[in-house]
């Protein structure tokens, strides 16, 4: 098997009457976290057993062809204890380990895959080898339904397209014998490929005055020795409304060595050492298909990176990301602004101010991954223009030294100017103030020095953060 990073990629195989199975790609268990294995079955897989799951009531449309009695050809709403001739399912359906292309519908609420089953009206507990009990059938539910007075319909249809077709059998508004005012509506749905059975019951009323009102909901094998029944519904009195049931075939069986560790297309494992797991399915045409997947214990990995600068200005909006993860061989970056990268050390240019969660997913050669996230601040900051020279000669051009700023607070502003020897010659707390090149602006005598040092301290208006600047300014005489 080729190694993949956590995900499983399945080869597409042609649809066959037999089943093919792929247990997924070899993978690694990282940091002790359990691993879910997923097997994909292609073709018609066997169904050696069933479990039951209640699902939302979402029946297929109540429509289709009216069922007719095999011998007299009477429609079901004019016959009692009726059974149809063979009806095409529309696809191959696997039921209890055997493939079927045809079925037989009984007016008493069951569907069989074998011709000539008894049409006894009284339900019985299953499994049962008694000759009066229908076999190789789905009971949904089996009870004494009596649509023979022109009331109710039994319909069948196949819908959808390959490989997801459905064969739908509907008992619509069918009376109960001896309780003809009590009408039942229910549906059995056979699903192509998955071989799941859905059983929708809109109404299943009582009729305790006839045969105790018992009914059976489940599946019965061809020998009468195996049955799977919805709990609490094996030939006892019960009612239901707006229910949905899924009869789930066993499908895949998982083994660790020769030990059965579970059934179903998915299984979660937590090995302590490198372990091989086998996914096996019984094919509906006979035989078995199996595949092996290996789970190794992967080396741990801790993702980390440096973002420089962590606070980005829109005046220089490029942030450099440097991977600091040991042992990584794959990188996936999400910079939080919609941009991504798979480089080890990428750069990103941010277009708008805000806070962006930059995320790195780093993976090692074992397929183990880790995630690190850091917040990148992008700010539309202040501007501060400071000239590097001026000429205080009275010609009206560039006669004074001043700063030009936007986005700063007027409060707590401070500008100082010093000679090269550290003598302070000017100070101001007004950002609009100017220095004329004289000592404290007190006279008209221009300073003799030509190079001065300035310092600025101010707060930006948006975030209230303190900023300091230092530079040189020249007097040109």
CATH class for the region spanning 305-379: mainly beta
pLDDT in tens, 364-391: 998 899 999 999 999 877 788 999 999 9
Residues 177-190: tens digit of each pLDDT: 999 999 999 999 99
Summarize the confidence of residues 149-153 as an average pLDDT. 90
- Confirm whether 305-379 and 383-475 share one CATH topology: yes
Q: What is residue 342's predicted lDDT score, i.e. its pLDDT?
A: 97
pLDDT digits (tens, 9 = 90+) for 219-250: 999 999 999 999 999 999 999 999 999 998 87
Entry pTM: 0.57
Scored b (16 or more CB within 10 A) or e, 98-125 reads: bbbeebbbbbbbbbbbeeebebbbbbbe
- The residue ranges of every structural domain in the chain are 20-46+251-297, 51-245, 305-379, 383-475
- CATH (one of 3.40.1350, 3.40.50, 2.60.40, 1.10.3470) for 383-475: 2.60.40
Banded pLDDT at 17 (limits 50, 70, 90): very low
* CATH pick for 20-46+251-297 out of 3.30.310.50, 1.10.3720.10, 3.40.1380.20, 2.60.40.10: 2.60.40.10
Measured CA angle at 313 (ends 308, 316), to 5 deg: 80
Distance CA 144, CA 151 (A): 14
Structure tokens at 1: 């098997």
pLDDT in tens, 101-146: 999 999 999 999 999 999 988 899 999 999 999 999 999 999 999 9
């Amino acid at each position: 098997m080729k190694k993949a990073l956590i995900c499983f990629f399945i080869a597409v195989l042609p649809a066959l009457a037999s089943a093919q199975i792929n247990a997924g790609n070899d993978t690694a268990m990282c940091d002790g976290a359990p691993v879910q294995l997923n097997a994909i079955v292609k073709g018609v897989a066997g169904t050696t057993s069933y479990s039951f799951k209640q699902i939302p009531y979402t029946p297929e449309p109540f429509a289709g062809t009216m069922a007719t009695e095999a011998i007299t050809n009477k429609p079901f709403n004019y016959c009692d204890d009726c059974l149809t001739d063979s009806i095409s399912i529309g696809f191959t359906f696997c039921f209890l380990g055997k493939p079927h292309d045809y079925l037989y519908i009984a007016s008493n609420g069951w569907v069989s895959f074998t011709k000539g089953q008894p049409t006894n009206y009284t339900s019985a507990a299953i499994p049962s080898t008694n000759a009066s009990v229908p076999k190789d059938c789905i009971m949904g539910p089996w009870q004494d339904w009596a649509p023979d007075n022109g009331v109710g319909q039994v319909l069948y249809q196949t819908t959808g397209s390959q490989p997801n077709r459905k064969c739908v059998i509907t008992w619509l508004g069918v009376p109960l014998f001896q309780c003809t005012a009590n009408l039942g509506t229910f549906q059995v749905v056979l699903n192509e490929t998955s071989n799941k059975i859905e059983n929708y019951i809109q109404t299943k009323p009582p009729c305790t005055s006839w045969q105790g009102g018992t009914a059976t909901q489940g599946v019965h094998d061809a020998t009468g020795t195996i049955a799977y029944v919805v709990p609490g519904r094996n030939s006892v009195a019960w009612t239901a409304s707006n229910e949905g049931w899924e009869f789930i075939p066993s499908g895949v069986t998982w083994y660790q060595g020769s030990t059965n560790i579970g059934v179903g297309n998915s299984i979660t494992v937590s090995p302590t050492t490198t372990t091989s797991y086998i996914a096996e399915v019984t094919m509906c045409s006979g035989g078995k298909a199996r595949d092996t997947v290996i789970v190794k214990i992967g080396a741990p990995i801790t993702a980390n990176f440096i973002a420089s600068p962590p606070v980005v200005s829109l005046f220089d909006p490029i942030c450099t990301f440097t991977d600091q993860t040991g042992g990584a061989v794959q990188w996936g970056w999400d910079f939080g602004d919609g941009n991504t990268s798979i480089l080890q050390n990428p750069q990103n240019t941010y277009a708008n101010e805000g806070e962006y969660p930059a995320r790195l997913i780093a993976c090692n050669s074992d397929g183990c991954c880790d995630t690190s996230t850091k917040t990148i601040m992008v700010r539309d900051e202040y501007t501060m223009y400071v000239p590097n020279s001026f000429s205080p000669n009275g010609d009206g051009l560039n006669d004074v030294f001043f700063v030009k700023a936007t986005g700063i607070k007027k409060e707590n502003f401070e500008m100082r100017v010093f000679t090269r020897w550290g003598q302070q010659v000017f100070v101001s707390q007004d950002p609009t103030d100017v220095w004329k090149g004289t000592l404290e602006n007190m006279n008209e005598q221009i300073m003799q020095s030509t190079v001065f040092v300035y310092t600025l301290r101010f707060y930006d208006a948006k975030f209230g953060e303190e900023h300091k600047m230092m530079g040189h300014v020249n007097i040109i005489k």
